[in-house]
Structure 1
C-alpha cells in the first residue's frame, strides 16, 4: 500500500496512522502530572483540550465536593503559540515532553499555592481567592525563565535567567538576582548536557527545607570541545557551536556551592576525599538536603561510573564526609532512591550490590540498620516512609517482570512485604505528603490508563479517570477487532529467560504463513515487554497485525528491570549479545507454523535503530528488511556519560569501540534498508546517518533514506509523525509482504 491510498483504510473502518495521531487521543482522557496537595484535600492534574489533546490546562478534583473543575485555562493566559527559547526547547527534548500550554506545576507546602510557568513567564494560583483574582503573573520579560521552583515556605519563586539564578517575592513582586557571573561558558544552577540527557537530572539548584539557603552547581564548560552542529530546516539551516562532550573527551568542571540568602555569601563544598584528592574529572548526579538544613547530601560518581559515594557536607564549612560507597566491576545505575526520615536519624537507600536493586535502612553515619527487601526481583522506585506506621512504600516487579506493583515493608525489617495494588498490570503512584493517600496510575494490555485515588492500604477512595474501554471510548471500535498480545519466554545462551510479546495477524488463514516485524529497542535502561497499555506503539502494532503482519518484541540481555546479571553481558562491547538474542527470538518464531521464515523484518528507533542496522549487517540471512530511525552508527560521536558507562574510555577499549560501531559489518548488507533521521537531532547527531550514507555509497550498497528538516531526536509533531509512520508502514508493505 502506498501513502496515496492510505486514506482508503479510513473509510473501511480500519485503524490508520492518520487516526493514531489525530484528536481525540485513542488513549482516552487520561490526566497527566497527577499530584496530591500537601494537605490531602485536592488532587491536581493537567488535562488536554478535547479538540487539541497536546494543549494542557490545570485542573483539580476536590475531595470535599467530589467535583472536578478547571483551575487555569492556558489559552486565556496565552492565546497564541508559545515562542520557546533554545534552552527550553532543549530541556523539553531531554524530558521527551512535547505538549503545549501548562506543561508543569508545583505545590506550595501550605496547600494553598500553585506555581506554573507559561510562555517563558511565571504565574502563581492562590486557591484561597476567587477564580477571577486567583492567578497572578510574577514575571513579564523578554527573557525566558526556566527551571521554576517554589520555595518550601511558599513565599518566593526561583528560576534561571541568562545562566544565573533569580528569585522573586510572591507578595511584593520584588525580584532579586542571586548569582552574577553566569555568561559564556559559566552556568549557575543549570544542569549540564550529560546531566539532562543521561543522568535524569534536569536542574542545578535546590532550596533548603527552611528556605534560607540554596545549594547550586556552578558549571564551567570551557574544557569541553566545541562541536559544530548543523540544524537543517525546511528553508534554511543554522550552525550551532555546541559544547558537546564526545566520548573520551573532556567534561565540564563542576563546583557545588551553598548560597546563604540573607548574606548573599556562597560556601563552596569540598568534593574531594582522601581517596580522590587529585580527582576533578567527576560527576555530581544527585544533590539533596537533609531535613535539618544544616547538611547537604550529594552523590559523587567517578568518571568510569564504577564508584558512587554518598557524601554529606556541612553547609557552614563546606567540609564533606563519605557516608557510604557503592562499587561495581561494570557500572553503577543511578536512581533517586534516597529518603531522609523525619523523626529518626536515618535514611532509606537502594543498592544493586546483591545483583538486584533492593532497599536498605542506614543511620546518618552510614551504618546499616536493616536490609528491607531481598530476592531475585527488582525495586523500581522508592516512594517514601510513613513513620507513624513504620512502613516503607515502593514499586517493584516482585511477582513477574511484566508487571509493576506498589508494596510496603516494615521499617524495622521484621515483617512481610505486602502487595498493595492488585489489578494485573503496571502501577505507578504519587503519594500525599503524609503518606496516607496515593494516586494510582494504572494500565494493562487490556485497559488504557486509569487514575484512581486510594488509601495507603489500596482501598479505593474515588476514580479520577476510570477510562473504561466501552462503546463511548475512542478506541472501542478498533480494540474489538485488534490482535491481542501473547507473552512468553525464550532462553538466552547463558540460560537466562528473555520475555517476548507477540501479535498474530488479525484474520489468520489456516496453512498460510505471514511476514514478521521485529519491533526492537534492545538497549540499556529500557524495558519494552510489559503488561501495560503502550499507547501509540500499541496502536501501530494493532494496525500492522490487521494488515497481515506478525509483530514481535523481545527484551534481550542488556535491557532494564531484570537485575545486573541480565544487564552486564553488554559491557565493553555493544551490538553483540543483543543481536544474538534477537536471532534467538527469530529461531523461536521459525518454529511457529504461521511464520514465513524468509520474510523477517526489523524496526527500531534510537538504540533500536542501531540494533536494526547491526542486525541487518551481521545477520543478513535472517533479517531481510529493516527500518532504522535516528540510529547511532559510530559510538565515538556519542556523549561521555552514556557511552563510557557501557564501553569504558576509548583509550582503554579501542577494540570494543571499533567492534561496537556498524561500519566493520556493512559489507554484509543484502536486504532492503531504510534509514530515517531528524536533521536537527542534538542527541543522536545527524552525522551518525550521513557518515553511514557515505560508507554505504562507497561500498555500492543500495539503501533508502527519509530525513526530516527541523526535527530533533523524537521527530515530533502530528503531521511529521504521521508521515514517519506512513513511511515505515509503506516500506514493510512494499518489501516484506
Structure 2
C-alpha cells in the first residue's frame, strides 16, 4: 500500500558557472558570430580600371583566413546570368599578422562595439576611384596602397607625427595625396607623399580629467553612433564639375582652398561613469560618458576648417569658420544632428 505522505520533488539546479567558464562560453559565442558575420561581403565599392575592367571592392574573410580583409572581384565584359565572380585578395596575406602585432587601442575597440563588429582585421577602407589609392586604419595607424589593377599589394604605413589611434580616415576628393583623420578627438590632415601632418582643430585639450575636457571635433556623439549608425563626423568639400584633380604641390578649384565641414560635440552635460579597466589587471579605472535615459544628451554644432597647400608641400593658412549663431540658438527644439553633407555643387 502506497504511503499518502507528500513526496518531495527535487528540481535539478544547473551548476553555477565560474568566471573562467563564462568567459569560455562568451568566446565560443563570439567565434560563432564572427564566422556568420564574415560570410557575407560588406562595404562594396565599384571602380572602373584604366583598362576598362569593372572592379568591385569589398570586406570579407577569405576561405582559409580568420581576419577580415580587403578583397575584390572583376566583372567580365560579358557575363551570363548567375555567373559567380572569383574573389581575389587586394592585400598581401602576411600583412594581417604584421598589422595586428600590437594591441588594439581603446578608441578602436569602442568603435567596433558601436558598429556591432564581431571580427577584427581590416574593418573599413577608403577608395579614391580616379587614382586607385586605398587607405585604411589598422593597429591604431593608417596604411595606404595604390591599386593599378594588378596585385596583391603590400600597404605602406603613412608617415604621421600625431600620437594616438588614427580613426575614420578620408581621402580628399580633389587631391588623393591629402588624407584627413581623427586623432585624440581632433581632426588632422597629412600629405601622404611627404609626411607633413597638421592638426586642424583644437577642440580637445588632452588632459587627464575627463570632466574638464568635454569637446571633440570630427567624432559623432555616442547617441549618433549607437542609435543612428552615423560614424562620420567630418566631410571634405567635394569636387565641383570645373575642378581638375590636384596632385603633389598643385592647388585646385577656383580659389585653391581646401575645406572640411565638421561636427563639434560638447558633452559637458553628459554624466561620467567609472568602470574597471578591461585591459588591465592592476585595478585601473576607465571613465566613460554615457547619456542615460532621461538625462541630457550632448550638444552639436557645425564648423568649417580650411587651409591652403603651398610648395614644399606645406599646409598653411589654417582657419576655422563658425556659424553666426550656434545651432542650439537657431533651432532650440533640435535634439539630434542626424545627417550632414554638402550640396552637389559644393557651394
Q: Same fold (TM over 0.5)?
A: yes
1:162 aligns with 2:191: no
Checking the alignment, whether the CA contact within 8 Å between 2:215 and 2:265 is kept in structure 1 is: yes
Checking the alignment, whether the CA contact within 8 Å between 2:270 and 2:296 is kept in structure 1 is: yes
Instruction: Give the C-alpha shift of residue 288 in structure 1.
Output: 0.7
1:122 aligns with one of 127, 138, 142: 142
Question: Counterpart in 2 of 1:35?
Answer: 45
Question: Counterpart in 2 of 1:63?
Answer: 75
Measured in 2, the distance between the counterparts of 1:46 and 1:215 equals 28
Question: Counterpart in 1 of 2:346?
Answer: 293
Query: Larger radius of gyration, structure 1 or 2?
Result: 1
Checking the alignment, whether the CA contact within 8 Å between 2:92 and 2:154 is kept in structure 1 is: no
Instruction: Give the C-alpha shift of residue 88 in structure 1.
Output: 1.5
Given the superposition, is the C-alpha separation of residues 52 and 278 from structure 1 closer, same or farther in structure 2, using an over 3 Å criterion?
closer
Checking the alignment, whether the CA contact within 8 Å between 1:185 and 1:221 is kept in structure 2 is: yes
Question: Counterpart in 2 of 1:656?
Answer: none
1:264 partner SS: strand
Instruction: Give the C-alpha shift of residue 278 in structure 1.
Output: 7.5
Instruction: Give the C-alpha shift of residue 158 in structure 1.
Output: 0.8
Measured in 2, the distance between the counterparts of 1:88 and 1:127 equals 26
Counterpart mapping for 1:308-707 below 5 A: none
Checking the alignment, whether the CA contact within 8 Å between 1:37 and 1:111 is kept in structure 2 is: no
Measured in 2, the distance between the counterparts of 1:109 and 1:35 equals 9
1:76 aligns with 2:95: yes
Instruction: Give the C-alpha shift of residue 19 in structure 1.
Output: 10
Checking the alignment, whether the CA contact within 8 Å between 1:218 and 1:255 is kept in structure 2 is: yes
Measured in 2, the distance between the counterparts of 1:237 and 1:109 equals 48
Checking the alignment, whether the CA contact within 8 Å between 1:45 and 1:59 is kept in structure 2 is: yes
1:143 aligns with 2:155: no
Instruction: Give the C-alpha shift of residue 82 in structure 1.
Output: 4.6
Checking the alignment, whether the CA contact within 8 Å between 1:104 and 1:117 is kept in structure 2 is: yes
Measured in 2, the distance between the counterparts of 1:161 and 1:20 equals 29
2:43 partner SS: strand
Structure 2 residue runs of 5 or longer lacking an equivalent are: 1-11, 16-26, 78-84, 206-212, 240-256, 309-316
Measured in 2, the distance between the counterparts of 1:28 and 1:251 equals 34
Checking the alignment, whether the CA contact within 8 Å between 1:251 and 1:281 is kept in structure 2 is: no
1:177 aligns with 2:189: no
Measured in 1, the distance between the counterparts of 2:224 and 2:38 equals 34
Checking the alignment, whether the CA contact within 8 Å between 1:58 and 1:72 is kept in structure 2 is: yes
Checking the alignment, whether the CA contact within 8 Å between 1:109 and 1:152 is kept in structure 2 is: no
Given the superposition, is the C-alpha separation of residues 265 and 69 from structure 1 closer, same or farther in structure 2, using an over 3 Å criterion?
same
1:282 aligns with 2:335: yes
TM-score, normalization by structure 2: 0.68
1:203 aligns with one of 222, 232, 236: 232
Checking the alignment, whether the CA contact within 8 Å between 1:101 and 1:118 is kept in structure 2 is: yes
Question: Counterpart in 2 of 1:244?
Answer: 290
Question: Counterpart in 1 of 2:107?
Answer: 87
Checking the alignment, whether the CA contact within 8 Å between 1:224 and 1:249 is kept in structure 2 is: yes
2:104 partner SS: coil
Instruction: Give the C-alpha shift of residue 264 in structure 1.
Output: 1.8
Checking the alignment, whether the CA contact within 8 Å between 2:92 and 2:153 is kept in structure 1 is: no
The alignment yields a C-alpha RMSD, in angstroms, of 3.7
Measured in 1, the distance between the counterparts of 2:192 and 2:39 equals 34
Measured in 2, the distance between the counterparts of 1:144 and 1:160 equals 8
Work out the number of aligned pairs and report it. Answer: 280
Checking the alignment, whether the CA contact within 8 Å between 2:145 and 2:155 is kept in structure 1 is: yes
Judging by fraction of residues, say which structure has more helix: 1
2:127 aligns with one of 107, 112, 120: 107
TM-score, normalization by structure 1: 0.34
Question: Counterpart in 1 of 2:219?
Answer: 190
Checking the alignment, whether the CA contact within 8 Å between 2:272 and 2:287 is kept in structure 1 is: yes
Instruction: Give the C-alpha shift of residue 129 in structure 1.
Output: 7.9
Measured in 2, the distance between the counterparts of 1:23 and 1:276 equals 45
